[in-house]
Structure 1
Amino acid sequence: MKTIKLFYIPISALLFTGLFTSCNDDFVNTKPLNEAPKELVWADAGLAQAFVNDLYNGFGQGGFNEQMLASLSDESMFTHPGRGINTITESRSTPTDQGWIVDSYEYGNMYKYIRAANTAIENLKEPKFSNATQAKQMLGEAYFLRAYYYQQLLRFYGAIPLITKIYLLEDTDFTAARNTYEECVDFIVKDCDEAAALLQDAVKVEGRTSQAAAQALKARVLTYAASDLHDVPTAKGKSPTIAAYGNSEYLGYVSGSRVERWQKAKAAAKVVLDQTALAYKLDLLDSVTAAEGKANYIALAMGGKSKVSEIDAKRDLILGRFFNDLKDEGGAYVGRNNGPNGYHNWSGNTPTQLLVDDYEMLSGEKFDWNKPSHSSNIYANRDPRLSASILYDGANWKPRTDDVKERDPANQIQTGQYEVLNEKGGKVIQYGLDTRNSPVEDWNGSYMGYYMRKFVDGDPTIIDQNSRQRIPWPILRYTEVVLNYVEACIELGENDEARNWLNKIRFRAGMPAIPKTESGQDLKARYRNERRVELAYEEHRFFDTRRWMIAKETVGRPVTYISVFGSLNTGKKVSLYQYNTGNYTYSYKVNTIAPGIENRNWLDKMYFISIHRDEINRNNKLVQNPGY
């Protein structure tokens, strides 16, 4: 009896879950409880749907792992040592010690789900059950998911072997060479087109793919394909490591028109943009107030309705990874993993000063430490997305837990040092409740002086962040597609169109229009910064700095953090600290993280993660990436 059973045998890139096994225990008349016969699965619509549903597990926790990809970029630094993150941020990654790779990018795990998708595609092309409409939708889902998982591999490792065959135990050769980068892009785009056609009439279900998701994924893949890193002549001119590599066809396009690639990327994004029902507040003619801009951004981060803003922004979320209380999933603990230690949270992926500095002033002016009007109160009059994304010293937050609330009745983030009066009336220095010298939990404090606010539920009734949250991870957003469209327009010299769409995003966030005089490299820099702050913590910065080939100047620079000191003003008598500019004069100093905590360094081999040595040993047709 042939059965379907999920397990993984790591033979090169080609043996994955779903291998068929035999069961011939005639002396025992029982059936395995965790398996179903192949013939039964694909003849029954319900069982076939269950198989397709399992394909979504390749999303993992979305991006809500305890360690986030943001901490492999210049967005944040992970607080807790020994997790393999430094191996990548310090460019010490090797084929035998790659460093931390989350399962949604891990080579073998992605191929496991690709093989399962291949199985579904093969069996759903000619379904053996009568519900043709359901079979069509499931087939569209399988094409999309195969495209998505190949895209995850492509943007992490460069070109990979494209496998459509379902390997069985009786096969004798499990090796395969890497396809070219161009072939990989064409294959993924074709799968996206197949999925979009099949899902045209599909009913939208939360957490399931759709026609728009397939079209948005296509736009992302084509945007990457047109970028500097994947235009081999451009990449060779910027990187001696890539120039010396003998198999550049695995990294990008070795010939052809880059202009045409940008035109394809623009056209693919425009297909999604024309679906205006997906847009959220992108029809504004002027910027909203700062308060509205913050509320809009929080609503977007919450994946729809937020108890803070009571605004429904769910339609921007084209595809999300949702969590539910019936399963105790790690992604539901994003608040606990990243919240302040003064709330008994773990302060995992803490924002860097590098990120904070890139939020503009509310006027649209670039923040400048050399301007006293900026540096005297560094969080005042800033882009509203700053306070919606990051918890900083003095920011209002939720009530403290019962054991801490008497220390902070004002419910404000405390990441600095402050003068207070002791019982004798003398000045003493008090460390904030959310520092690494906190009287609450000193071992969990942020090194950066900041905490992640984005994706963390601001509901004041959720005091203990050990409670599960229901915030979806944004796999694909309409706003990302808008930004992809803007990038293509800029590269094609269509500055007016690019500014028009950038302003739509800025107006929603409470920011002013970009001056019409801004074009060329200035507009490109403005766009890249806009993308940085709008998509912060959404796993884009890691890839953007690489595909733009600016990693050395961004993720390769030392991490900076903030020190805050509150000097008690003359005549003020404060014994219980709270943030108050009437009682205190605050000073801010930018510091570089101490050697030994994280020594960030950039080597060009890190444009692509290596293929693990074990995979190379199993499959002698694989060629390693440059620099390894």
Structure 2
Amino acid sequence: MRLYNKIFTFFILLSGGVILNSCDDRLELDPLYAQDADSYFNTQEDYQRALIGAYDLMQTSYLNLWIGEIASDNAIAGGESVNDTQGLHEIESMNHNAVNSELRSVFQFNYAGITRTNYLFINQDNIDFPGKEVLFGEAHFLRAYYYFQLVKYFGDVPLIIDKFLGADEVNSIGRTPAQEVYAQIESDLLQAAESLEWTVEVEGKVTKGAALGLLGRVYLYQDKFEEASEVLDQIIMEGPYSLIESTTSEEYADLFSVNQEGNSESVFEIQYSGQEGGAYGCLVCLEGFAAVGFQGIRQYEGPEYGDGNSYNLPTQDLYDAYAVGDIRRDGSVLNLDAFIDAQPNSADISYAIGGGGHTGFYNNKYIKRLDELGLPDNDLTSPVNYRLIRLADVYLMAAEAFNRKASPNDAKALGYLNDVRERVGMPALSLSGGQLTEAIWNERRLELSGEGFRFWDLVRTGRASDEIEGFTPDKNELFPIPQIEIDLAGGNWTQNPNY
């Protein structure tokens, strides 16, 4: 039987066949219809193919990038009009509700990923083979990643581990307290870190550094600063990573290029390919990174950049946040008119402004470039990888953890902060206590802008209502559970407060 997804509410049910996405032709078996649930997971190759299917849902990370920026003070939704991906405009304005296509996609995509990893664990005892411990270490990481997305968006979510649900169970299961979900995430990541090595032969595979990096982020989001400082410091002290000095904005921007994939600052990247086409009707089916083309310049005709859809446009506030001389400003935020004015043929360069809003700025880290085009439609087929965990982020998370733990180590925190600044030519700071905390938070905005972390940083540090226009405390810290999922689950879930 062909591998496919049969989705009932947010769970994928076992209905006589192996559960993998019909959009993903890499996971089909030859000949078709040759295997069903009873005959699968009998060879090492079966497990490897199922693991690839579990990785596949990570490619929907374009949503995390968009929402993490657009929900914050870093960016507006942009696009052709306010009805172009309307859910993003609602999130930008903080008037989103339980009927929102983008939020429902976040919910569905991550539960699909969880189901695929659970299917591996259900069958983990079928056979033994070389490398099995490593394979399941990767699976532990993937399940933790998907649950982390869900708990940070929605809070309490149903926790399903190592099993499938029948239709009757879907209508009776409740939302699991976020604290229990986080405990499972931590358990999965600790097991992953124990099983994995620092380096791997296959590009894009999960490593020990990736597991510890995500674990440190998970601890930080829960204010577990002691635990976060330990695992993040382990990456810095033991891992095979190093910061890369950049002396120009072009060198800094190049850290996010295809040519620099897997560089020494990269702890984990979500892999994309420009060798397979796609369609707007199924962004989850893509092998390319959709964010890059969508964030391109609308109807642009000129050097260096390709045309795109003008999504996720940085704000003037973000651009102005950078100090004079900080090369990360122009490396991260493209001031389009300034760029055009600096070209020798500026009069020949043109672009259009979308009706969804215009700031004059574009995400220069993830933007379509002429030397990085995938197959047509190249809006959908960018080969650029998404840098999910970077060493600079690890340094800044470690700095915050050492500064904010019960017995602070401000000297170490300051050292890590200055390491990040000095490698881009910014002067060292000399601060401690609360002033150091504020400096670390500010540095995170400057270093990680355009990468999808700003909203979550503001929420977890209690600053969202001060920085985000329209943010309502005791409401917008979480997003609403999609109403259709509540309905399909029998209406027995309460909605998040004030939605």
Structure 1 length as normaliser, TM-score? 0.67
**Pairwise CA distance, 1:199:** 1.9
> What's the offset of the Cα at 1:181?
2.4
Q: Is the 8 A contact 2:77 2:356 kept in 1?
A: no
Partner of 1:153: 150
Distance 1:463 1:19 in 2: 36
Native 8 Å contact 1:175 1:620 kept in 2: no
Does 2:130 correspond to 1:132? yes
1:263 offset after TM fit, Å? 0.6
The letter of the residue matching 2:335 is Y
Q: What percentage of residue pairs aligned between the two structures are identical?
A: 23
Q: 1:443 to 1:162 in 2, by over 3 A?
A: closer
Q: Distance in 1 between matches of 2:200 and 2:342?
A: 49
Match for 1:606 among 473, 476, 492?
476
The answer (yes or no) to whether the contact 1:70–1:542 under 8 Å persists in 2 is: yes
How far the C-alpha of 1:5 sits from its partner, in A, is: 3.7
User: Paired residue for 2:54?
Assistant: 55
Provide the C-alpha distance between the structure 1 equivalents of 2:413 and 2:308, rounded to a whole number of angstroms: 41
In structure 2, the partner of 1:20 is: 16
Aligned in 2, Cα 1:292/1:466: closer, same or farther, shift over 3 Å? farther
Asked if residue 449 in structure 1 is aligned to residue 367 in structure 2, the reply is: no
Shift of 1:6: 2.1
Matched residues, number:
465
Say which structure is richer in helix: 2
C-alpha distance in structure 2 between counterparts of 1:165 and 1:463, whole Å: 38
**Structure 2 residue 425 is the aligned partner of structure 1 residue 510:** yes
Deviations along 1:153-205, one digit per CA (max 9) or x if unpaired, are 01111122211142354865652222222222211111011112222387342
Per-residue CA deviations over 1:277-327 (Å, capped at 9, x if unaligned) read 21223xxxxxx6xx7153442232226x35xxxxx8613222212222322
Q: Which amino acid aligns with 2:16?
A: F
Give the aligned partner of residue 120 of structure 2: 120
Q: Superposition RMSD on alpha carbons, in Å?
A: 3.3
CA distance in 1, matches of 2:14, 2:73: 39
Contact 1:5–1:34 (8 Å) recurs in 2: no
1:340: how far off? Answer: 2.9
**Does residue 340 of the first structure (1) align with residue 297 of the second (2)?**
yes
- CA 1:462/1:615 → structure 2, altered by over 3 Å: closer, same or farther? closer
SS at match of 2:313: strand
Answering whether residue 344 of structure 2 is matched by residue 410 of structure 1, we say yes
Which of residues 490, 496, 499 is equivalent to 1:625? Answer: 496
Q: Which amino acid aligns with 1:152?
A: Q
Q: Is the 8 A contact 1:503 1:513 kept in 2?
A: yes
What residue is the counterpart of 2:332 in the other structure? 389
Structure 1 position 501, deviation (Å)? 0.4
Q: Which residue of 2 aligns with 1:522?
A: 435
CA contact (8 A) 1:17 1:116 kept: no
User: After superposition, what is the alpha-carbon deviation per residue over 1:509-537, rounded to whole angstroms, capped at 9, x for unaligned?
Assistant: 121111x2x22222222111110011111
SS in 2 for 1:115: helix
Task: Judge conservation of contact 1:316–1:477 (CA < 8 Å) in 2.
Answer: yes
Partner AA of 1:626 in structure 2: P
Question: In structure 2, what residue type is equivalent to 1:390?
Answer: V
Distance in 1 of aligned mates of 2:440 and 2:416 = 10
Distance 1:66 1:481, change over 3 A: closer
CA displacement 1:466-509 (0-9 Å, x = unmatched): 65542101122222222111111121332211110011111111
Q: 2:413 maps to what in 1?
A: 498
- Structure 2 CA distance for partners of 1:139 and 1:76, relative to 1, 3 Å: same
Separation in structure 2 between the aligned mates of residue 538 and residue 6 of structure 1, nearest angstrom: 30
1:411/1:523 Cα in 2 relative to 1: closer, same or farther (>3 Å)? farther
8 Å CA contact retained: 1:335, 1:465? no
Q: CA 1:393 to 1:318, structure 2 compared with 1: closer, same or farther past 3 Å?
A: closer
Structure-1 residue corresponding to 2:6: 7
**Deviation of residue 388 (structure 1)?**
0.7
Is there any run of 5+ residues in structure 1 with no aligned partner, and where?
Answer: 23-30, 227-260, 282-287, 307-311, 363-382, 398-406, 415-431, 435-439, 557-599
Say if 2:93 is the partner of 1:90.
yes
Q: Structure 2: state its 5+ residue gaps.
A: 19-29, 279-285, 302-306
Secondary structure at the counterpart of residue 20 of structure 1: coil
Query: Per the alignment, in what secondary structure is the counterpart of residue 360 of structure 1?
Result: coil
